[in-house]
Homo-oligomer: A and B are copies of this chain.
Amino acid sequence: MKNENNNFSKLNKLDKPQGNNSLKIISLGGFASVTANMFVYETSRDILIVDCGVGFPEEEMMGVDLVIPDISYLNDKKEKIRAVILSHGHDDHIGGLPYILPQLPKNLPVYAPKWALALSQMKLEEFGIFANLNEIDQKTSLTLGDFRLEFVKVTHSIPDTYHILLKTPIGNFYHAPDFKLDLIPVLGQPADQVRIQELGRQGITCLLSDSLGAERPGFTPAEAKLIEMFESEIKTCSGNFFVTTISSNISRLKQAIDVSVRHGRKVVPVGRSIEKNLELADKLKYLALPKEVMLTKKQVKDIPQGKLTYLVAGSQGQIGSALDRIVAGEVDSVKIKKGDKVIFSTDYIPGNETAIRRLIDNIYRLGAEVVYSDIHDHIHVSGHGSQGDLGKLMELIKPKYFLPIGGNYRNLVNYKKLAISRGFKENQVILADGGMVVEFFSDGSVKTNKKIETRQVMVDALGVGDVGNVVLRDRKILSEEGIVVIVLPIDQSSHTLDGEPEIVTRGFIYIKENLEFLKQTKKFTSQVIEKTKGKRMDYRFVRNKVQEELEEFFFKSTGRRPMVLPVVVEV
């Protein structure tokens, strides 16, 4: 993609030797991904990392807890890394720190807004990791090697979300992860659009922008809009009022608390994540919890019907979450019953739809009312900008290039369409995918012909990266077909079976009802070994032969293909 737009000029470059310089942008979590955000900005001398998030395992990643970005690209460049910058406190932007920070240079500075910093600190402490954490705000200006940084506060579904301006020898880059342009935010101030426009006027080589909402027309509604919904729902609730939402959405929780106070209800947070987030938000003065109405779930005994609001974690139907356990009747002090109302003030995160709907069914079974997005249009607002918000940022910044991030590939494509509909040219938008290296040059050109390997590094309990495709493939077979282990006691000298084969099976068939079948299997195995006699005498041959023949035997008799594992024991 050669620069064809020669009247673009006056990039606000720093006074640095230029030579053959370039700036590379790489997404270690892979471009065209919503989560596992981790971006590398690299000049010949310096590297800056923006965000360090986790991803969530896909359906096929059985037993995997988390996915983290692959930092192997940085392995031979660690001395170039100047800092990690965090844009905001969502897990897909900070959750990778405990796994990745220990692999980066010791004492590497991490810069973060106050709220993200507090959450990161809590997270790192759980892992016993000390980090060099530094707070930034709107007034911060940093010089880190080739990079000079400024920060722009914007609005999102978590407090303290920032955009980052990176001035580099190659040009200025405006990094705009998750945001919306909420003009009347519940907490804090709206984004300063005048300042954004000023930064744009300094000349921006590339705008890296959130693209998740690029399919949605209009502007994303303001968070404050939801107060009307809360009002009308609480008014018609004779019993206890339950609100579930993403626990980090402090503004949403504040609105639920405010409306409860107005209606004379006490408020009870339930679930570790909500309790922790509210406590921290109060301590850091993001909100002032009305102490006189806040109760713990142990203190509700004498509160009359209809005078309680519960703020409950588990809006995604997660097994074992507070809401799941309450609905299952496992929480002694909190019951849902007729007259109560449960508000799902949340998006269905892709992949969770079935679990959420099942939870809703079960709440209805308890006789309560449920309000959720299938029956109510205005119960949740997204934290991500729609076409209006995204287009507005395009116009304020007027960059030379666009690099949509934070979306699936279809969102990037729709972001591109949006840019074109706003009068930008098709070749101004870079559609990056996977491990693509987006390289900007001082003559204004950009190349995308290099590619790095980015695997998904899987975290399974204490193991980071030790679960790979082989293990996952085995888990998949095990999960669908089960396993049959057949132990073959083989006489060392005669190489024949000394006794009966032993069979252990799990996940294949119900053993108690299939004793006869297992007997047949043993007999069949003995025959197979009998037949190999005098052929080749190494155990590998015996094992392979038994495995092969048993696989066929099982498929013919059951239609299934369990994993067959013969074990030879010399006796």
A residues near B (Cβ < 8 Å) are: 32, 58-59, 62-63, 215, 350-351, 353-354, 357, 360-362, 364-365, 370, 374-375, 408-410, 413-414, 433, 460-463, 466-468, 470-472, 474-476, 478-483, 485, 487, 489, 499, 502, 504, 506-510, 513-514, 557-560, 563, 565, 567, 569-571
Contacts and interface: CB of A to CB of B under 8 A. Distances in A.
A478 B483 contact: yes
A489 B571 contact: yes
Contact of A507 (B471, B485, B513, B560): B471
Identical chains bound together, number: 2
The 6 closest A-B pairs by CB, nearest first: A461-B559, A479-B479, A63-B480, A462-B559, A478-B478, A475-B507
A502 B489 CA distance: 12
Contact of A478 (B479, B499, B504, B514): B479
A65 B215 CA distance: 35
Contacts of A410: 357, 360-361, 364, 370
A478 B410 CA distance: 35
A510 B467 contact: yes
A489 B567 CA distance: 12
26 contacts: A63-B479, A63-B507, A63-B560, A350-B353, A351-B353, A351-B354, A361-B408, A361-B410, A364-B409, A460-B560, A461-B559, A462-B557, A463-B509, A466-B513, A467-B509, A472-B507, A475-B480, A475-B482, A478-B482, A478-B483, A478-B506, A478-B507, A487-B487, A487-B567, A489-B569, A567-B567
Contacts of A481: 63
Contact of A471 (B63, B482, B567, B569): B482
Given A62-B480, A461-B560, A483-B478, A361 B489 contact: no
A375 B414 contact: yes
A487 B487 CA distance: 8
Contacts of A466: 509-510, 513-514
A317 to B, nearest CB: 11
